[in-house]
Each structure stands twice: as structure tokens, then as C-alpha cells.
Structure 1
């Protein structure tokens, strides 16, 4: 068999199924006018009767919104200290270290850092979190458990970097096994200009017909809406139940330490933070976060960490 010359043309056989859409498209065009007439004929013939749920729920909604705003409407000031920040950790290159006492000292110094315009002021409470580790994988595991519930950008980046450094330590001794070239790979059809234009056109034809296929009577639409609202309520209840079950019966995590201090000014908070002896220097790879705000504003996170 010889090489045949190539002629670019429209794939008639592959797209022959589109001819089956013509009859449905013509029928849909004719239904537009009759649908408008039917809807205009219903004007003044229907009425609605609101149920008693709305009035009964007004008081509960107001109380729930007020409680939600009180607990989560205030964003506490947040300070995150990690070994990988410039001027914080000790060491060279990728290998950076920060022991637990030095971490507490860094957090305390930032409370009275007058050069930081975002430093909190006034009478405040403070919630201090410490993530203790001696290895990069241990630090990444500790941060991943916390970031799954309350991710902070700096802690997420620290988790990612610690995970990569841990993999680097274990994988740098592995010799990769490269197979012979060339290798099989998928054809990137999405990069073809003709195929992209054809896909948009054919998808548009199908979407127009799908809108008519979904046509139904108003009564069935109302019944479907009620079913969806019931299913949605059950789904929300199940989500909350799953979240409570996830946090119920948790085991004590020795790599995560927390303290609640205050109220007081930043100087008072610094003194209280340094008044208690921190974990020792044997924890050579640590990260921490300091949340400063009102007692009510910190109540959700405080209960989340078990204080």
C-alpha cells in the first residue's frame, strides 16, 4: 500500500447524525408561536397561596443570622510564622529550621512590632497555634490535618513545600527508568481549529433541541421544584451531619498545640505568651499561627481546636 495524498474535507460520515435533528428543529420553530399564545391565555387564570412556613421561620431566621454574624462576621487578625520565611528560619538553602521556643519568640515580637501597620490594637484576645515536628514529612502531615479544616495561605504553602522537600529527600536516590523512544500519547484534538469550531456548532444545535426536550407543564414543574427543595434540604442536613461526624470522637494530636490568652493590649498579650514555657528545642521544625480578635470572634476557631 502506498502513501495516499491528503485532501482536507468536512467529515460527512462522522457528522451524518446531525441530519436527524432537522425534523425536531422544524417542529421546535413551529412551537414557539403556539407556546407564547398558551402562556398569554393563562394570564389572570391562576393564583398562588403562600404556606405558613415563611411566617413561622422569620424569627428563627433572624436569630440564626444574628448568631452567624456574631461568630463569623468578624475576621480576626492573623499572623503565620514558618521556617521558610525570609529572616525567620535557620539553615541554608532549602534546609530551613525553626525550633519551638524560637517560634514563640517570633510570634511575641510581632505583637509589638510598631513597623507593621496592620498590627492589632486595643483590648484583644489571642489564640496561638503551634505545629511541632522534627521532620519535613511530619510537619506536612500535621499541617495537612489542620488545613483540611481551616486553611491559611501561608500554612498551605508551608505544607506544600515541606511535602516536596520530604519527597526530595527520599526520591533523590532513585534512578529513573526511561523507556525507549518514541512513546504513545493522546492526540490533542482540542487544539485543532476546525474541530473546535465544529464542536461548538454541533453542541449549539444539540443545546437548542435539549431546551425543547425539557419542556413540561407548569404543574409538573411545580412538583419537580418541591421535590428538589426536599432533596436539597436533606442534602444540607446530611452535609452538616457528615461534618459533625468528621469532627466527633477525634483523637488528641500531640503535634498541634494551642493557647488562648488575653484580654489585653499587644504588650500584655506578648507578656502572657512568653510567660508559659514553650516546648523544647528538640522540636526543630515548627510553624505557628497567632489569631488576634475579640473573644466572640475567636469562639468558632477556639472550639474547633478544643479549647
Structure 2
């Protein structure tokens, strides 16, 4: 791939296809959990219970899910993050720091062949590079926020926060605060009264004892409540996942984020491939970048996430 493509954030269908294979076991578990409260209500007076059918039926699905998770997370790529606010990287004075897109690309490429870096990846691998571009601090912060909402990398999160604060500083430094007239109305600070504090301390212990009696319940009732909470939590998690999929469906290309994958090759070859082709120019005075180096399997999740 010789060009920098605009990033289209999307749900990684191929990298997460194994989740669909667990739907049967999840539905079975959900149905069993939904009926747990009724079954628990009938356990009063019984000395033993029969386990539900979920355990035996879900064993194969559990093994497949664990294997898929281990396979997806077992080849985590090496990650390098370059931002304008890192020491010796950005240009400028004081808090105002800048880093143009071509200079960012040079920084990313030079770290691939930095012999003094013990953490530098070695051997034939692939490299996936991401560039986040902006011309103003507020625009730069919004671009980083869209990516950090899905894959928060600590250096990018700090860069987003600093860019947003610098943008706010530029706006608020011209605002002259207004002070209200004196004296002002306010509530009476009764909590600072010595009598009130002593009475409150005396009553707190007694109220805690009474609340413990009021909250007393049977173990069976607590199990019923626990089953209900677990069912509600599962529904909430499923809804959150579905909402995220819907949000990423039909996304538009974001020109302020660019992505490119090169390889395979060793560090020198990856550097040469990374510098080839037409890249964003110096008109992007604010830029940050992420370079991921690893196998195709290890990069598959992020590659699909950014639409490559």
C-alpha cells in the first residue's frame, strides 16, 4: 500500500467473527438466568438442587471463546507513539508545540532503525502507521478524541487533553471575569455548629444499627436479587455492544486521520517503504502518529478497525 488512506472507523467483523459462534451458548445462558429467580423461589426447604443445563452445553463454546481471545490477544504488536509535546520532538516555545506531518513521518521512520533503542522490533514483520492531523489545537483534540474513544493509547490521551486545554486557554485568556456585588446571600452553615456535629456523630452509630436491621433479608431473597441484577447487567452489556456496532456502521472517511500498512520486511525495509509515496504535507502543522509493528494476525484487529 503506497498511499495514505483516510481512516473510516468501523466494527472489525472479521477479527471478531468468533463472537457470533458464542451466540447459542449466550442465549442459553440468558434463558437460564432469566428463570433463575423463579427456580430460587421454589428452593425453600429443599436440601439439594440440580444444576442447570448451561454448564455442560456451554463447555465447547467456552473453550472456543477462550481460544479466540487468546489468539486475538496473543500476538500484540509493538506500539510507538510520537506527539508534538514529547521532549525533543515538537517545535515551538513554551507550551505551544507544533509538529508537521512530514516531520512526524521522519520521526516514525527513524525509530525503526534506532539501534540505541532496546525495544525496537526485529525480524520480518508488517508495519501499520496512523497519522492524526490538524491545523488548530481544538481540531487536533477532536480528531484524537474520535480515535481515543475506541482505542485509547495513553500518549494520545495525554496529547488530546493537552491540546484541548491549550485551545481553551487561547479562548479564555481574553475573558474578563465579573464579580458579583458584596455582601452575598448564602445558606447558613449549620453543619459547622458544635451542637449539630456532636448530635450527628451520636446519631450516626444508632442509625447504622437500625439500618442494618432494616436491610436484613433472607439468603434466598439475596440470591433472587443477585440473579435479577446479573440478568440486567447482561442485557446492558449486550445493548452497549449493539450500540457500538450501530455507531460504527456506515462510517464516513475522516481525512484528518490517515492510515497505511507496509511490509513484510525488516526494520530497514519497513523504513524505506514507509517513506515512499505521497504523504500529507507541511500544511498540517499539528500531527501525532502511531506505528504498530507485528504480524498480519496481530495487526488484523486494528487494521480492520481503521478500514484498511
Matches within 5 A, 1:211-290: 211-290=212-291
Q: For the residues of structure 1 that align with 2:74 and 2:200, how far apart are their CA atoms? A: 46
Matched, 1:54 2:55: yes
Residue 79 (structure 1) aligns with: 80
Contact 1:72 1:300 in 2 (8 A): no
Deviations 1:108-160 (A, max 9, x none): 00111111111112222222110111111111111111111111221112112
Query: Where does structure 1 lack aligned partners over 5 or more consecutive residues?
Result: 1-41
1:202, CA displacement in angstroms? 4.7
1:305, CA displacement in angstroms? 1.2
Corresponding residue pairs, total: 265
Find the structure with the greater CA-based Rg: 1
Deviations 1:43-65 (A, max 9, x none): x9601211111111011011111
1:79, CA displacement in angstroms? 1.1
* CA-atom RMSD in angstroms: 2.9
User: When the two structures are superposed, what TM-score results if normalisation uses the length of structure 1?
Assistant: 0.76
Relative contact order: is structure 1 or structure 2 higher (C-alpha 8 Å, sep ≥ 6)? 2
Residue 172 (structure 2) aligns with: 171
Name the CA shift for 1:193/1:57 in 2 (closer, same or farther; >3 Å): farther
User: When the two structures are superposed, what TM-score results if normalisation uses the length of structure 2?
Assistant: 0.75
Residue 105 (structure 2) aligns with: 104
Contact 1:100 1:283 in 2 (8 A): yes
Name the CA shift for 1:289/1:219 in 2 (closer, same or farther; >3 Å): same
Name the CA shift for 1:225/1:255 in 2 (closer, same or farther; >3 Å): same
Contact 1:71 1:298 in 2 (8 A): no
Q: For the residues of structure 2 that align with 1:166 and 1:243, how far apart are their CA atoms? A: 29
Query: Where does structure 2 lack aligned partners over 5 or more consecutive residues?
Result: 1-42
Matched, 1:135 2:136: yes
Q: For the residues of structure 1 that align with 2:84 and 2:193, how far apart are their CA atoms? A: 47
Contact 1:126 1:260 in 2 (8 A): yes
1:255, CA displacement in angstroms? 0.3
